[in-house]
Amino acid sequence: MTFSPLTSPTSSRRRALASVAVLAALGLGASACSSDSGDTGSTSEGSGSSGDYSIAFLPKNLGNPYFDTSDQAAKKAIEGFGGEFKEVGPSEATADGQVSYINTLTQQGVNAIVLSANDVNALCDSLKEAMDADIKVITFDSDVDPSCRDAYVSASSTDLIAQSQVDLVAEQIGQAGEVAILSASANATNQNAWIEAMKTYAAQKYPNLQIVDTVYGDDDDQTSFDKTEALLSTHPNLKGIISPTTVGIAAAARYLSTSQYKGKVALTGLGTPNDMRQYVEDGTVTSFALWNPADLGVLASYTAKAMIDGDITGEEGDTFTAEGLSSDETDFTVEADGIVTLGEPFVFTKENIGQFDF
């Protein structure tokens, strides 16, 4: 599947993107009230009738625009098929913060938990308890060990995500020089897989490009900003930064935009068009990549539904359908290790960024 609506604008894409924008403007799915798990995060209850589809989304952290977009789209999809959407999550992107929510959701007896994991192993005990209680466990965006979930909904392949970011930075720095990585949290499964693949690919394809450092901004805006400043003073010859996180790249762009490094040190990675627009327009950033986080939320919702319905079990070759993706794609097949893949990363530039609103 490709992210075709982004490459060739159609009225259906415009409608899909417009609906995301309207939901965002209304603030749906982003309301905060006190949680019953004792964490400092929050809960957002959906209003649909529960049926058999009581589905809880657990992002890495709340207040992250990427997850706001995916979870708002999930809410719409789940309520569209008669289910009840709920979003819970910690304020900081830590595994500890997620465990208490998983335990609470298990006690509540939801039908499915859909989570983006802050750690590959640390959530496993609580997720296995959830599965033992007949709760379907779907990871999306960031996986856990395959033994601790039923299926993983991935934005794209690890290699494609890694290669697109390395190619972008290589193109911007003339394929040579020092590059550093500003990641999310140190244990994030998705970023760690992408970083490993980036290092392998860069060493093979760009022998004169050296990845000299990896630092962690914890998907926290201020920490990411401070780590960018520190990177630039630690590595005076740095030519480029890759930040494979929407929070990190936005904070790094903000730092660079008013610094002496603007236009001299390249910045790319994974960002949302809305976060990055001003930095593309002011020349701080040339290009960056992502997929549509709303589509990821919708696909994860339909994966949960298919699993609750017993249409799929996570076995390779299982097929199911999803509705409402911006690509008009409907048919999906479970791959090896219970993986469902959305599509390919898309590159945003000054020329196309105006077409997107998420």
Binding site for ligand RAM (CB under 6 A): 60, 64, 66, 116, 141-142, 184, 188, 190, 219, 245-247, 270
Contact of 197 with 166, CB cutoff 8 Å: no
Closest approach, Cβ 109 to ligand RAM, in A, equals 27
Choose between 43 and 156: whose C-beta lies nearer to ligand RAM.
156
Choose between 141 and 150: whose C-beta lies nearer to ligand RAM.
141
Choose between 60 and 277: whose C-beta lies nearer to ligand RAM.
60
Start-to-end C-alpha separation, the chain: 21
Closest approach, Cβ 248 to ligand RAM, in A, equals 7
Choose between 53 and 279: whose C-beta lies nearer to ligand RAM.
279
Nearest to 225 by CA among 202, 199, 248, 242: 248
Q: Residue 135 contacts by C-beta under 8 Å, 6 or more apart in sequence?
A: 105, 106, 109, 110, 111, 112, 113
Choose between 91 and 210: whose C-beta lies nearer to ligand RAM.
91
Amino acid in position 173: I
Closest approach, Cβ 218 to ligand RAM, in A, equals 10
In angstroms, rounded to a whole number, what is the distance separating the alpha carbons of residues 50 and 69?
22
Contact of 39 with 97, CB cutoff 8 Å: yes
Residue 177's region, left for phi above 0, alpha for psi from -120 to 50, else beta, is left
127 vs 100, 226, 232, 263, CA distance in Å?
Answer: 11, 34, 40, 45
Nearest to 285 by CA among 225, 235, 243: 243
Choose between 20 and 312: whose C-beta lies nearer to ligand RAM.
20
Measured from each CB, the residue nearest to ligand RAM is 66
Choose between 245 and 326: whose C-beta lies nearer to ligand RAM.
245
71 SS3 class: helix
Closest approach, Cβ 67 to ligand RAM, in A, equals 7
Q: Which two tokens stand for residue 349?
A: 């530039």
Closest approach, Cβ 246 to ligand RAM, in A, equals 4
Characterize 291-305 residue by residue with b for buried, 16 or more Cβ atoms within 10 angstroms of its Cβ, and e for exposed.
bbbbbbbbbbbbbbb
Helix axes 65-80, 246-257, angle to 10 degrees: 140
Closest approach, Cβ 309 to ligand RAM, in A, equals 27
Choose between 244 and 338: whose C-beta lies nearer to ligand RAM.
244
Closest approach, Cβ 130 to ligand RAM, in A, equals 21
Closest approach, Cβ 51 to ligand RAM, in A, equals 29
